């Protein structure tokens, strides 16, 4: 409930347009390196298939780091728009970051233990 209030305050402080603009900028900066990293890991898998589990963990880490950087850049973007902002929204971003990390980890583990044995028939 407290978080919802903070999100509302954030929207009041910056406006929906600026929030979306900040997120888009952060997303654009993160996307290209992320895609290149994932492409590189996939090509790594084709040569080092016997290190497949390690490679899946590398993808999980890459996704987690990318989302961390995404939220960091989003926050930076908002701070740059209004340097005198008093609202502490650093912690606000922590929860979605953790949720995303857990979801990615679960999906990765499902991939390792269930999908890999099915795919490599």
Partner 1 sequence: MNELLRYYKKIILALILPIVAFAFLLIARIPFAVYAPGGISEVEDLIEINYNEDKEITGTISTTYIMSIQRPTYFQFILGTFSPYSSITVLSSGYANYTNEEISQISYLDHVTSIDASIIIAYQKAAETNSNIHIDYDVKILVFGKAVYLDHYDEISFGDEFIQMVGDGDTIVTTIDDISTYTTLSDAYDFTFYNSEKGQYTVTLSKDEEYDKFGITLKTYYLVDDSTIYPTYTENSSNIGGPSGGLLQTLAIYNHLIDEDLTKGLKIAGTGTIQYDGSVGYIGGVEQKVITAYLNKVDLFFMPSLDPDYASDNYQVALQVCEEYGIEAEGWLIPVSTFDEAVAYLEGLDVS
The residues of the shown chain that bind partner 1, judged by CB under 8 A, are 21-22, 24-26, 28-29, 32-33, 36, 39-40, 43-44, 46-50, 73, 76-77, 80-81, 119-121
What is the number of alpha carbons within 13 Å of residue 75 lying toward its C-beta?
A: 17
Q: How far is the CB of 18 from partner 1 (least distance, A)?
A: 10
Rg (CA), the chain: 18
- Per the CB < 8 A criterion, the answer to whether 14 and 78 are in contact is yes
Helix axes 52-81, 2-14, angle to 10 degrees: 50
Q: 75 or 87: whose CB is closer to partner 1?
A: 75
Q: Closest distance between partner 1 and the C-beta of residue 50, in Å?
A: 5
Q: Which of 47, 45, 74, 73 is nearest to 59 (CA)?
A: 45
Question: Is 63 or 78 the residue whose CB approaches partner 1 more closely?
Answer: 78
Nearer CB in complex with partner 1: 85/106: 85
Residue closer to partner 1, measured from CB, 1 or 121? 121
Smallest gap from Cβ 12 to partner 1, in A, equals: 20
CB 34 within 8 A of CB 64: no
């Amino acid at each position: 409930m407290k978080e919802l209030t903070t999100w509302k305050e954030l929207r009041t402080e910056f406006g929906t347009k600026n929030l979306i603009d900040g997120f888009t900028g952060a997303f654009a900066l993160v996307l290209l390196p992320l895609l290149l990293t994932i492409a590189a890991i996939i090509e790594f898998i084709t040569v080092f298939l016997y290190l497949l589990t390690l490679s899946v963990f590398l993808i999980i880490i890459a996704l987690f780091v990318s989302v961390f950087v995404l939220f960091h850049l989003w926050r930076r973007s908002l701070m740059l728009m209004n340097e005198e902002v008093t609202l502490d929204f650093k912690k606000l971003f922590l929860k979605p970051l953790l949720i995303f990390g857990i979801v990615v980890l679960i999906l990765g583990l499902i991939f390792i233990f269930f999908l890999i044995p099915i795919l490599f028939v």
